[in-house]
Structure 1
Amino acid sequence: MELYIDAEQAAAELGVSLTTLYTYISRRGIRSQRVPGTKKRQYWKADIDNIRKRKGEKPSPPARDTLQESKLTLVTPEGPYYRGQSAIELSETHTLEDTAALLWDIRRDAVFGPNAAVAPPELRDLYKVFKDVSIADKAIGILPFVERANPRAYDLTHEGLCRTGADLLRWYAAILAGRDVTSSEPLHIQTAALCGGEDEVADLIRRVLVISADHGFGAGTYAVRAVASTGVTPYRSVLAGFAIAPGRRNVLGHRAAIGRLLDELAASSDPQSVIARRMQEGEDLPGFRFPWPYVNGDPRANRSLDDLGRIRGDHPLFVKVMAAFSYAEAELGRHPGHGMVNDLIARVIGLPSREYLYPLGRCAGWVAHSIEQYEAGDVDPPLANYRGQLPKVSELP
């Protein structure tokens, strides 16, 4: 690809005269350099293409199409749709295993069988090493050993990838519970056992896991797909999603800030004043961010709040937090996001962390994206618009 073009080419690309081109050099920031041994100059082609874009014309040569195609999830103002089916409606009847099979385009009984994945011999020692770290970091440390202990993980056929996905979900549930073996029990039942195991709590967890399974192309999904395109197993690609979890710009990375806000609300006799004080002092409201195209709150959060209210509507924390949510909506037009509601649910039902809900559900979507991207081939990265120091003509190949 040409890096520089001469004045005549540049003028032709822009559809202007040479005189107009020379005015563009200073007014529009077109970079150029002198051709050694002559009085002529060459012009940086990326700058020419950028001006063409601003004029509504297509650059030449044609830019690579950077839109990522997927058949998995459509995000609408009413919530996500998994392969054309409303995630919120699916949560009424489906389990996470059902939802994973739908996203992975395979029969549930073909991959979620009774066979348990082999535990790595180092597992007990690994639990000790990672005793005081987050669940995400624990998964990052342990899952590569699980992969190595299970040679079938390297079967990259469609069915093989799906079987590995099922093993991965079960291993994440086992890591949550600190168990040495996986279980074929439904994932929501396994999770509910960590906080008492009542049927109504298990059903709430089932619903949350289903609507958390996928949400299109967030940062985690891009990371997972980029790694999957290299031909690794789902164990490795899903680690990319866990790796970005603590990021300050990532929804999961706000967990600590959300936790502090919930602590304040729990300790206050006037939860509305907590919201008012934060706004008066210019502080942020963590957990009140939700993605496009939601304009009146995240439908997933709204549904989960309704579900939680049905079974724990009289819980003191739920009562206080709902008062704060109502105040934030009425006075500030702010609505809680899915992450905030996940954290609230975990506290009200007695789970130690939101990491027990959202990431477990999201693993199903990350595996789906891993499979789709591996089968599609390499990720096609966007063309970069270089803005640094330009090379001299004599240094160009």
Structure 2
Amino acid sequence: MSDEVKRGLDGVVVFESNLSYIDGDAGELGYRGYAIEDFAQEASFEEVLSLLWNGAWPTPAEHEEFVARLAAERDLAPPVYDLIEELAAQDENPMAMLRTVTSMLSAYDPDTDAEPDDREANIAKGCRITAKIPTALAAFTRLRDGNEPVAPREDLTHAENFLYMLNDEEPDAVAVDAFDTALVLHADHGLNASTFASMVTTSTLSDLHSGVTSAIGTLAGSLHGGANQNVMRMLKEIDESDADPDEWIEQAVEEGRRIPGFGHRVYSVRDPRANILASYSERLGEQSGDRKWYDYSVTIEEHMAEMTRFSPNVDFYSASMYYQMGIPLDIYTPIFALSRVGGWIAHMLEQYDDNRLIRPLSRYAGERGREFVPLDER
């Protein structure tokens, strides 16, 4: 056994998975063997959940049944709404709210007493968690802003219903298409930190709600979720400064400023998800008649390509895309959770199917042989 310390588990392979495939050097990402370029703009988020959880694309009949099942689970128990209202009144951080509410959901889940590795019960729990997180986030956002929550509807898609609950109006087709594609592209991405956290929790034979709660807490960290918020703050800074975007980015790079939305722990080239989201940022800008956020982004990317070795990641173009859809900056990371919960659940289902307690080693680096001195002699 090697005693070499791999900080951050760099390069350490600890699992085999049938879920997402990543080639960081080639800029490739696929779910269960399907390249994202082939389905991201064609398959709905609900279809992708079926693929990730069940291993195959659903038939039309299976899809209709799954969509209805998910839609029927959207509403929250009154005490959960009460908790959300209290957290909104306290101006709680949106990710902290989501973590707390997700934990509370287990109290109202009819399968809460099922065995942790009961796959049928876990699929049912997964549907409820996935369906209720958007309702909780939309309700919290509206209450915090002084508005009443909007009840979920069962006749809308997952993406469409969230935007409807958030803004109290049915979104247009371009916004729905863009948001649904963003959900698809964020659904899974290998063994990232939050997915790993969910699997560690699952490996103890803890329950699915605990695993998702662990994952949300991990995603809340600034080194994992949240980069797209910083991207949008940067774009707004450029806009408010009245500076030429070319000169602004050139000066920022020369000053050594960290440019958010660039670089990735896995990809050494352009994140393939950025290719798709960039097109939606452009479409939303053209629809509104104001392309400046997309144009700023393109300018920054071009200068970064000339001046550094970094390429845009998934957060870079999702920032301007969400902003043009009227989504508040501080719920960008919860929206990440709204999508990634599908991948977390898929990985936890895999872990339950072939479980082994995750218990790595650490190497002791402290002193040895120290002599104990009783309290009254110190």
**Could you tell me which residue of structure 1 aligns to residue 367 of structure 2?**
389
Distance of aligned partners of 1:246 and 1:232 in 2 relative to their CA distance in 1, 3 Å threshold: same
- What is the one-letter code of the residue matched to 1:122? P
* Identity percentage of aligned residues: 21
Alignment coverage as a number of residue pairs: 332
1:338 counterpart = 2:314: yes
Which of the residues 38, 60, 70 maps onto 1:89? 38
Which segments of 5 or more consecutive residues in structure 1 lack a partner in the other structure? Answer: 1-45, 55-64, 393-397
1:266 counterpart = 2:225: no
Shift of 1:203: 0.6
1:323 counterpart = 2:273: no
**Could you tell me which residue of structure 1 aligns to residue 22 of structure 2?**
75
Which of the residues 360, 364, 367 maps onto 2:338? 360
CA distance in 2: counterparts of 1:223 and 1:183, whole angstroms: 32
**Could you tell me which residue of structure 1 aligns to residue 348 of structure 2?**
370
Q: Given that residues 301 and 338 in structure 1 are in contact (C-alpha distance below 8 angstroms), is that contact kept between their aligned partners in structure 2?
A: yes
Q: Give the TM-score of the pair, scaled to structure 1.
A: 0.75
**Could you tell me which residue of structure 2 aligns to residue 257 of structure 1?**
230
Which of the residues 111, 121, 124 maps onto 1:160? 121
Shift of 1:388: 2.1
Which of the residues 172, 184, 203 maps onto 1:198? 172
Q: Given that residues 153 and 161 in structure 1 are in contact (C-alpha distance below 8 angstroms), is that contact kept between their aligned partners in structure 2?
A: no
**Could you tell me which residue of structure 2 aligns to residue 122 of structure 1?**
79
- What is the one-letter code of the residue matched to 2:357? V
CA distance in 2: counterparts of 1:257 and 1:355, whole angstroms: 11
**Could you tell me which residue of structure 2 aligns to residue 187 of structure 1?**
158
Which secondary structure does the structure 2 equivalent of 1:217 belong to? coil
CA distance in 2: counterparts of 1:94 and 1:167, whole angstroms: 21
CA distance in 1: counterparts of 2:137 and 2:310, whole angstroms: 32
CA distance in 1: counterparts of 2:126 and 2:307, whole angstroms: 44
CA distance in 1: counterparts of 2:230 and 2:327, whole angstroms: 18
Deviation per CA, 1:128-174: give whole Å up to 9, x if none.
22212333211111122221112224434212211211111111110
CA distance in 1: counterparts of 2:77 and 2:110, whole angstroms: 12
Matches within 5 A, 1:142-291: 142-155=101-114, 156=116, 157-178=118-139, 179=149, 183-184=153-154, 185-193=156-164, 194=166, 197-250=171-224, 252-267=225-240, 268-291=242-265
**Could you tell me which residue of structure 2 aligns to residue 4 of structure 1?**
none
CA distance in 1: counterparts of 2:46 and 2:274, whole angstroms: 21
CA distance in 1: counterparts of 2:124 and 2:37, whole angstroms: 26
Distance of aligned partners of 1:213 and 1:283 in 2 relative to their CA distance in 1, 3 Å threshold: same
Matches within 5 A, 1:10-89: 50=3, 67-76=14-23, 77-89=26-38
Which secondary structure does the structure 1 equivalent of 2:219 belong to? coil
CA distance in 1: counterparts of 2:38 and 2:309, whole angstroms: 27
Which secondary structure does the structure 2 equivalent of 1:244 belong to? helix
Q: Give the TM-score of the pair, scaled to structure 2.
A: 0.79
Distance of aligned partners of 1:78 and 1:222 in 2 relative to their CA distance in 1, 3 Å threshold: same
Distance of aligned partners of 1:153 and 1:343 in 2 relative to their CA distance in 1, 3 Å threshold: farther
Q: Given that residues 18 and 32 in structure 2 are in contact (C-alpha distance below 8 angstroms), is that contact kept between their aligned partners in structure 1?
A: yes
**Could you tell me which residue of structure 1 aligns to residue 99 of structure 2?**
140
Distance of aligned partners of 1:303 and 1:186 in 2 relative to their CA distance in 1, 3 Å threshold: same
Distance of aligned partners of 1:116 and 1:220 in 2 relative to their CA distance in 1, 3 Å threshold: closer
Shift of 1:288: 1.1
Shift of 1:66: 6.0
Which of the residues 16, 28, 51 maps onto 1:102? 51
- What is the one-letter code of the residue matched to 2:82? D
**Could you tell me which residue of structure 2 aligns to residue 302 of structure 1?**
275
Shift of 1:122: 1.6
Q: Given that residues 290 and 297 in structure 1 are in contact (C-alpha distance below 8 angstroms), is that contact kept between their aligned partners in structure 2?
A: no
Q: Given that residues 152 and 161 in structure 2 are in contact (C-alpha distance below 8 angstroms), is that contact kept between their aligned partners in structure 1?
A: no
Q: Given that residues 72 and 83 in structure 1 are in contact (C-alpha distance below 8 angstroms), is that contact kept between their aligned partners in structure 2?
A: yes
Which secondary structure does the structure 1 equivalent of 2:365 belong to? coil
Deviation per CA, 1:192-212: give whole Å up to 9, x if none.
323560001101111111111
Q: Given that residues 88 and 211 in structure 1 are in contact (C-alpha distance below 8 angstroms), is that contact kept between their aligned partners in structure 2?
A: no
CA distance in 1: counterparts of 2:152 and 2:349, whole angstroms: 22
Which segments of 5 or more consecutive residues in structure 2 lack a partner in the other structure? Answer: 6-11, 140-148, 371-378
Q: Given that residues 20 and 33 in structure 2 are in contact (C-alpha distance below 8 angstroms), is that contact kept between their aligned partners in structure 1?
A: yes
Distance of aligned partners of 1:255 and 1:322 in 2 relative to their CA distance in 1, 3 Å threshold: closer
Following TM superposition, the consecutive aligned residue runs of length 4 or more in structure 1 with deviations greater than 6 angstroms are: none
- What is the one-letter code of the residue matched to 1:97? E
- Of stretches 90-99 and 151-160 in structure 1, the one that deviates more from structure 2 is 151-160
Q: Given that residues 19 and 32 in structure 2 are in contact (C-alpha distance below 8 angstroms), is that contact kept between their aligned partners in structure 1?
A: yes
Which secondary structure does the structure 1 equivalent of 2:42 belong to? coil
Shift of 1:82: 1.0
